[in-house]
Structure 1
Amino acid sequence: MPTISNFYTMKDASKHNTKADCWIVVDGKVYDVTQYLDDHPGGDDVILAATGRDATDDFEDAGHSKSAREQMEEYFVGELDTSAPPSTEKSYHVKFVQLAKQYWAVPVAAVGISVVVGFLYLRKK
């Protein structure tokens, strides 16, 4: 493991959330995986979805091999500063999910209203 003693907050790491500049946080360590995105067997979208938050659970759930864990050390840039208060800003991924949850109700409501109106119309006949 390289001897880098940089400390980053989650807010710092979350700023690096694009294909051109991508950092992830796993087990309290910060990794710059920008150069690895095209080589990731699961695709770059899997990693990009894990930016802006602690990706430890995602990493563990995927069942990475020992060699994958060793390869991660090439991309190590520093430690997560756990003394900093957690960011109150939401990641882009979380915001997108919340918008998707919010706006699915509009078409469902339109369909529901149409069904009720159609049912009432047929009932009058």
Structure 2
Amino acid sequence: MTRLITAQEVAEHNTEESVWFIIKGKVYDATKFLDEHPGGAEVMIEQAGLDATIAFNDVGHSADAMEMLNDYYIGDLKKEESFVAPAKTIQPTKPAATSQKKLFLAIPPRVWDIVIPTSIGVCLFFAYKRLIQFQQIK
């Protein structure tokens, strides 16, 4: 007999210790698959406790991936349940460090493609002028 699971019960499994989600009305416990997921555990944890049908389909999983779902199937979503996504708590991010290294890396690479060669050219120009002045003094 197929186990019927409420949306509330799925919503309670929304941490990395217990990752349940819904895909096309079926409930899956993917907790043991977190370390093996090619897209990383974070992607699955984001969908934990939610209806992940759209996210799963948008990625374009292979036929093998869809078949693997059978290994993690635990039951069907109770039909009379209307699923309301629980509010996820968002952890505040730490402010970025303002060290010189961080600021250097924050500048887009295209800027460095212009700045570095230009700086080298300017340095060479002044070095050449200095050399000419030095030779005129002799």
TM-score (structure 2 length as normaliser): 0.61
Q: Which runs of 5+ in 2 are unaligned?
A: 94-138
* Partner residue, 1:35: 32
Alignment of 1:24 onto 2:33: no
* Partner residue, 1:74: 71
Q: Distance in 2 between matches of 1:47 and 1:11?
A: 18
Q: Which runs of 5+ in 1 are unaligned?
A: 101-125
Q: Distance in 2 between matches of 1:96 and 1:18?
A: 13
CA positional deviation for 1:15: 0.7
- Written as runs of structure 1 = structure 2, the 5 A alignment for 1:85-104 is 85-87=82-84, 90-92=86-88, 95-96=89-90
Q: Distance in 1 between matches of 2:82 and 2:26?
A: 17
- CA RMSD in angstroms comes to 2.1
Determine which of 50, 55, 67 is the counterpart of 2:47.
Answer: 50
Kindly name which structure, 1 or 2, has the bigger radius of gyration based on alpha carbons. 2
Q: Percent identity?
A: 34
TM-score (structure 1 length as normaliser): 0.67
CA positional deviation for 1:85: 4.2
Whether the aligned pair in 2 keeps the contact of 1:30 and 1:76 (CA below 8 Å) is yes
